Amino acid sequence: MVKKNTCVFISGRGSNLKNLIIHSRDNSFPIKISLVISNNKKAIGLNYAKKFKIPYIFINTDSKNYEKKILFNLKKYKIKFICLAGYMKIISKNLTKAFQGKIINIHPSLLPKFKGLNTYSRMLKNNEKKGGCTVHFVNERLDGGSTITKKIFFIEKNDDEKILKNKTQILEYKAFPEAIIKIFRNI
């Protein structure tokens, strides 16, 4: 099987990146992570790129020509597929256009509920009964593309933000690889 050359975008801890790297080392997993892009120089997740010897680049998304830099590097590394794993920046129009149907994102809620930031505090405020995560295709609307996989858990009375995050991320580590397998099985 020819693995799809993939770039993972991160901004922070990178636990989903680590999980995807581990899955991608399996011969039957459909992607190879060939590049990691971070918009945060100090993202802890960059250490996983270093540890697993994957090329990585910091791109300052406050700089003028950042989109050009991203597109240049995606071309340079022959990237065919993009996973957003805790990338806290909206993807620019030209990038979504250039990679239509080839960018996926993981979001810590049951979309279309709780798009955007601070999902856990908003869920608690809203007395939600269920939480979860969604893997979806990225289009020009924030957290708006079609869903690939969703996973659900029940919120208990004493759950706080930390517990919600834990419960969500345990599900994310299953949902992200499952979504990738599902996409490439259907092609």
Residues that bind ligand GAR (CB under 6 A): 10, 12-16, 45, 85-86, 106-108, 133, 168-169, 172
Residue number, 72 or 146, with CB nearest to ligand GAR: 146
Minimum CB separation of residue 70 from ligand GAR in Å reads: 17
Backbone φ and ψ for 17, nearest 5 degrees, come out as -60, -50
Which one, 15 or 147, has the nearer CB to ligand GAR?
A: 15
165/186 with CB nearer ligand GAR: 165
Query: Which residue from 115, 159, 162 is spatially nearest to 141, judged by alpha carbons?
Result: 115
**∠93-185-140 over CA atoms, to 5°?**
15
| Least gap, CB of 93 to ligand GAR (angstroms) | 18
> Cα–Cα distance between 105 and 175 in angstroms, integer?
11
Q: Nearer to ligand GAR by C-beta: 159 or 172?
A: 172
Burial (CB count <10 Å: 0-12, 13-18, 19+), residue 89:
middle
- 3-class DSSP state for residue 112? coil
Q: Which residues, in sequence order, are bridge partners of residue 137? A: 104
| Catalytic sites, residue numbers | 107
Closest CB to ligand GAR belongs to which residue?
A: 86
Residue 75 phi/psi, 5-degree rounding, is: -70, -45
What is the smallest separation between the CB atom of 107 and ligand GAR, expressed in angstroms? Answer: 5
Is the separation of the CB atoms in 26 and 47 below 8 Å?
no
What is the smallest separation between the CB atom of 115 and ligand GAR, expressed in angstroms?
8
